[in-house]
């Protein structure tokens, strides 16, 4: 009896001791988590935001995402800059150039370009080529130093101030190109044909002027021209105002110019589609939980006449959403070149120390289910014409082709746009 009692007492003592050890260990772990430095807390916050929002959670299993967090927090991270570098290293295995840390200067500049009307820099919109991962020019902003230097969509950025963009990556390349007005940056450019040249660019304040409009004449018909250079917060309202002005000037058809529009706020692109479509699907999104129901436009439209939309290889992201919705709903003919093919949507989140993080949270599909990422969109009518520096000018042959096409539509009021057989001839 005493032997059994002693064994039971020994067992209880062991259990109690084990519970004390477990409790003490957990207490130490809690203390350790609570004692994270501000710099390490920044890293943990970034990891958590990506963990909760990234559109492809299967990638986490592939790269052992939780183990990456553990290894990162074990590093010596004592300064904010060390935290930013650690976050960059942590995000690299995701192989998504658009999910990235934004240092305070870059975060502020990105917010300025989305909500303001000016930005300091050289006027380049950049992307990353899927196969080679090289930094590629998506488009140049009108009137920018980059445009004046002859840099065009499709060029590659090889070095910035002597530092290889392969070493810098997409986000740091963009950061190096921005800066105070009047300062200079030396950029090595290679063309698609392989020609390499150096360009010395002087940064300055670039007027984004996201919406530009005018009235054109084609024989006996009046046609409106509407150019959108990017999708910032103010664009939907500016587009509505522009369309109202064109209607008052009795335009019969509309040319929507999205050339070299590299995107911006997806919500703004969708809002513009809403003004041109009546109760039609605009876009479908696919996030980590699968495909969501399509966004449907309202009944009222700001313009319901015939349309032509001009696109080129600098047309990307939110502008592809708009162009795709117009094409798939037979609302507008697309003319020009194959578009860039960026079908991923980023969400911008604030971090400590005035920094931010951009996270890819979804991909988008056109109303007919076409995935644009890495493929782009094919116009109904391809235009093999040289580019021009001033879009919408009297020398712009792309606009002239669109004018002629709309003129032929307006001459045949009983013909619907979807039933028109497009000619492959290009008028010079």
Q: What tens digit of pLDDT does each residue of 332-376 get? A: 999 999 998 989 888 889 998 789 999 999 998 999 989 899 889
pLDDT of residue 141: 78
342, 349, 355, 396: the catalytic one is: 342
Average pLDDT over residues 60-74: 96
- Buried b / exposed e over 99-119, threshold 16 CB at 10 Å, is bbbbbeebbebbeebbeeeeb
- Of 130-139, 174-183, 223-232, where does the model show the most confidence? 223-232
Residue pLDDT, tens place only, 119-158: 568 888 888 776 777 898 887 877 789 988 999 888 999 9
- Of 124-138, 304-318, 407-421, where does the model show the most confidence? 304-318
- Upper half-sphere CA count for residue 126 (Cβ side, 13 Å): 28
Same domain, 282 and 187: no
Average pLDDT over residues 63-82: 95
Q: Is 158 helix (H, G, I), strand (E, B) or coil?
A: strand
| pLDDT > 60? residue 57 | yes
Helix, strand and coil percent figures for the chain, each rounded to 5: 40, 25, 35
- Of 216-225, 271-280, 403-412, 418-427, where does the model show the most confidence? 271-280
317, 319, 325, 355: the catalytic one is: 317
| Phi, psi of 200, rounded to the nearest 5 degrees | -95, 110
Place of tokens 């592809």: 320
Is 4 among the domain residues?
Answer: no
Is 424 among the domain residues?
Answer: no
Distance, in Å, from the CA atom of 61 to the CA atom of 215, rounded to the nearest integer, reads 55
Same domain, 203 and 222: no
| pLDDT > 60? residue 117 | no
Same domain, 186 and 215: no
pLDDT of residue 389: 66
Percent of the chain with pLDDT over 90: 51
Same domain, 400 and 357: yes
CA dihedral 197, 200, 204, 206 (to 10 degrees): -10
The residue segments making up the domain with residue 161 are 118-207
pLDDT of residue 91: 96
Higher pLDDT, 105 or 96: 96
pLDDT of residue 414: 42
Q: What is the DSSP string of 181-248?
A: TT-EEEEEEE-TT--EEEEEEE-EEEE---EEEEEEEETTEEEEEEEE--B-TTHHHHHHHHHHHHHH
Distance, in Å, from the CA atom of 256 to the CA atom of 228, rounded to the nearest integer, reads 8
Same domain, 194 and 217: no
The CATH number linked to 64 is 3.30.750
328, 332, 363, 396: the catalytic one is: 328
Provide the whole-model pTM: 0.74
> Is 342 an annotated catalytic residue?
yes
Query: Which residue among 207, 230, 250 closes a domain?
Result: 207
Higher pLDDT, 194 or 425: 194
Distance, in Å, from the CA atom of 411 to the CA atom of 221, rounded to the nearest integer, reads 9
| Structure token pair of residue 221 | 């018909």
Higher pLDDT, 376 or 292: 376
pLDDT of residue 422: 41
pLDDT of residue 94: 95
pLDDT band with cut points at 50, 70 and 90 for residue 208 = low
Same domain, 173 and 254: no
pLDDT band with cut points at 50, 70 and 90 for residue 116 = very low
Distance, in Å, from the CA atom of 162 to the CA atom of 98, rounded to the nearest integer, reads 24
Contact 128, 137 (CB under 8 A): no
> Is 317 an annotated catalytic residue?
yes
Is 101 among the domain residues?
Answer: no
Is 224 among the domain residues?
Answer: yes
Per DSSP, what are the bridge partners of residue 185?
201
Average pLDDT over residues 219-237: 90
pLDDT of residue 119: 56
Order of strands across the sheet with 333-336?
211-218, 221-228, 253-257, 307-311, 333-336, 381-382
pLDDT band with cut points at 50, 70 and 90 for residue 171 = confident
How would you class 11 by CB atoms within 10 Å of its CB: exposed for 0-12, middle for 13-18, buried for 19 or more? exposed
How would you class 387 by CB atoms within 10 Å of its CB: exposed for 0-12, middle for 13-18, buried for 19 or more? middle
pLDDT of residue 25: 44
Average pLDDT over residues 6-31: 46
Same domain, 236 and 366: yes
> Is 350 an annotated catalytic residue?
no
Number of domains in the chain: 3
Is 425 among the domain residues?
Answer: no
- Buried b / exposed e over 263-286, threshold 16 CB at 10 Å, is bbbbebbbbbbbbbbeebbbbbbb
Is 351 among the domain residues?
Answer: yes
Same domain, 367 and 383: yes
pLDDT of residue 297: 94
Distance, in Å, from the CA atom of 261 to the CA atom of 400, rounded to the nearest integer, reads 20
Place of tokens 């064109």: 246
| Structure token pair of residue 144 | 């920018």
pLDDT band with cut points at 50, 70 and 90 for residue 394 = confident
The CATH number linked to 321 is 3.90.226.10
Distance, in Å, from the CA atom of 263 to the CA atom of 241, rounded to the nearest integer, reads 20
Nearest of 33, 108, 52 to residue 353 by alpha carbon: 108
């Amino acid at each position: 009896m005493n032997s059994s009692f002693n064994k039971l007492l020994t067992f209880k003592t062991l259990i109690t001791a084990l519970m004390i050890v477990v409790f003490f260990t957990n207490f130490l772990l809690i203390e350790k988590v609570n004692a994270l430095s501000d710099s390490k807390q920044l890293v943990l916050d970034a990891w958590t935001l990506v963990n909760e929002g990234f559109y492809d959670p299967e990638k986490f299993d592939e790269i052992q995402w939780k183990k990456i967090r553990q290894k990162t927090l074990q590093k010596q991270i004592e300064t904010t800059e060390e935290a930013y570098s650690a976050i960059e290293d942590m995000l690299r295995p995701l192989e998504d150039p658009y999910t990235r840390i934004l240092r305070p200067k870059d975060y502020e500049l990105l917010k300025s370009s989305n909500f303001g009307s000016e930005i300091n820099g050289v006027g380049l919109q950049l992307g990353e080529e899927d196969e080679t991962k090289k930094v590629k020019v998506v488009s140049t902003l009108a009137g920018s130093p980059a445009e004046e230097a002859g840099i065009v969509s499709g060029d590659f950025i090889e070095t910035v101030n002597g530092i290889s963009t392969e070493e810098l990556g997409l986000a740091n390349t963009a950061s190096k190109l921005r800066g105070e007005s009047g300062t200079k940056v030396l950029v090595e450019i290679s063309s698609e044909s392989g020609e390499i040249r150096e360009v010395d660019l002087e940064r300055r304040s670039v007027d984004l002027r996201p919406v530009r409009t005018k009235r054109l004449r084609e024989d006996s018909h009046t046609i409106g021209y509407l150019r959108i250079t990017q999708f910032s917060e103010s664009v939907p309202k500016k587009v509505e105002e522009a369309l109202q002005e064109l209607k008052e000037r009795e335009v019969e058809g509309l040319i929507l110019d999205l050339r070299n529009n590299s995107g911006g706020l997806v919500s703004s692109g969708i809002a513009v589609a809403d003004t041109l479509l009546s109760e039609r699907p605009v876009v479908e999104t696919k996030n980590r939980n699968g495909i969501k129901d399509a966004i449907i436009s309202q009944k009222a439209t700001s313009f319901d006449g015939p349309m032509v939309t001009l696109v080129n290889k600098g047309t990307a992201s939110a502008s592809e959403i708009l162009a795709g919705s117009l094409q798939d709903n037979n609302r507008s003919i697309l003319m020009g070149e194959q578009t860039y093919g960026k079908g991923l949507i980023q969400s911008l989140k604030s971090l400590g120390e005035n920094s931010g993080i951009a996270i890819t949270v979804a991909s988008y599909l056109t109303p007919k289910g076409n995935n644009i990422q890495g493929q782009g969109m094919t116009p109904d009518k391809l235009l093999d014409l040289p580019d021009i520096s001033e879009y919408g000018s009297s020398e712009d042959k792309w606009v002239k082709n669109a004018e002629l096409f709309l003129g032929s539509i307006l001459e045949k009021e009983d013909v619907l746009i979807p039933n028109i057989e497009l000619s492959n001839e290009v008028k010079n």
